[in-house]
A = this chain, B = another copy of it.
Amino acid sequence: MKSLAGQDVLTAGQFKPSVCEQLFKEARAMRTLVDEHGSLDRLGSRVLINLFYEPSTRTSASFAAAMLRLGGKVFPINEIKTSSVAKGETLEDTIKTLEQYADVIVLRHPEAGSAQRAAAAADIPIINAGDGAGEHPTQALLDLFTIIEEKGGPDGLSITLLGDLKHGRTVHSLARLLSNYDVRLNLVSPKTLGLPKAVRDDLSVSVTEHDSLESALPDTDVLYVTRVQRERFAKKADYDKVKGSYVVSPESLVKAKDDLIVLHPLPRVDEIDARMDADPRAAYFREVRNGLYVRMALLALVLG
């Protein structure tokens, strides 16, 4: 098994089951240690730079908290667009400059492929925290970890992906990651927002398409919800016609399994009714918490 030490984290595809197993074992250890001590003193001498070319409070805070709870040091760079660094300097030069100060760089950038470019320029590890239409591998990893922790899977599970499956790197990365396991995937989306052929062709598992959540629900162990945005429809009438079919609420889950779990990469707007929050099947905030443990594990292994 290839160790993560010193590696870049660029795509979900790097995470074969054996690497995931190593990572998730470490994540469980992190959960125990955080529960007991709040923080560890494991990366006390290391510096992480959070280099965010577009804002993402949630991802930035998650990586920062992970590094801080490992005892490490964090310097966030958020204002990159207005900074002189941005005035004509290449991403490669910015990376080659910042790596003189840091031990690892977490990069969010609007262009697909930017994380690869950064990694090629850098001598220190680069962690992709979202590169435009490209990938967001740590989100897929925390999704998978949550499925395992909540449902003991993923083998044998039936997982339903709901909403806009066309856009959104999160659902693409997750589908590819799940394809390494013995799962059944149900796809529920508006016709114009289905999973792209390129992603479907990569999947080596059983895939069923459904017109509605209702038909997929009886066989669903994990319901992964994403938002259907009005902006994706040419006509408001087309959006209005379908939007109700992609909202999760106590009513829409009447025929669901008792032990189903609902996941969402967040932020949510109204695709999950707030009344769901009190339902023990709503696992999306526990999913957020798992993001802390998975990112702690990843930083510890990459810098270990």
Chain A residues at the B interface, C-beta cutoff of 8 Å:
37-39, 44-47, 49, 55-58, 61-62, 64-65, 68-69, 73-80, 82-85, 87-90, 92-94, 96-98, 100-103, 266-269, 274, 277, 285, 288-289, 291-292
Contact = CB atoms under 8 A, between A and B. Distances in A.
Contact of A73 (B68, B87, B289): B68
A101 B62 contact: yes
Contacts of A56: 83-84
Given A61-B98, A79-B57, A285-B100, A73 B266 contact: no
A102 to B, nearest CB: 7
A75 B74 contact: yes
Given A84-B267, A93-B268, A45 B38 contact: yes
Given A101-B62, A285-B100, A39 B85 contact: no
A83 B97 contact: no
Q: Which 10 residue pairs of A and B lie closest in terms of their CB atoms, listed nearest first?
A: A38-B45, A65-B101, A89-B267, A39-B45, A55-B83, A100-B289, A68-B73, A88-B269, A57-B85, A100-B288
Contacts of A38: 45-47, 103
A71 to B, nearest CB: 9
Q: Most chain-B Cβ atoms within 10 A of its Cβ — which of A37, A73, A274, A288? A: A73
A223 B292 CA distance: 47
Contacts of A46: 38-39
Given A56-B84, A57-B83, 18 more contacts: A38-B47, A39-B47, A47-B69, A49-B61, A57-B94, A64-B75, A64-B101, A69-B73, A84-B267, A88-B267, A88-B269, A89-B268, A93-B268, A96-B285, A97-B285, A97-B288, A100-B285, A101-B292
Nearest to A98: B61
A292 B83 contact: no
B84 A57 contact: yes
Contacts of A292: 100-101
A2 to B, nearest CB: 24
A9 B226 CA distance: 35
Contacts of A47: 38-39, 65, 68-69
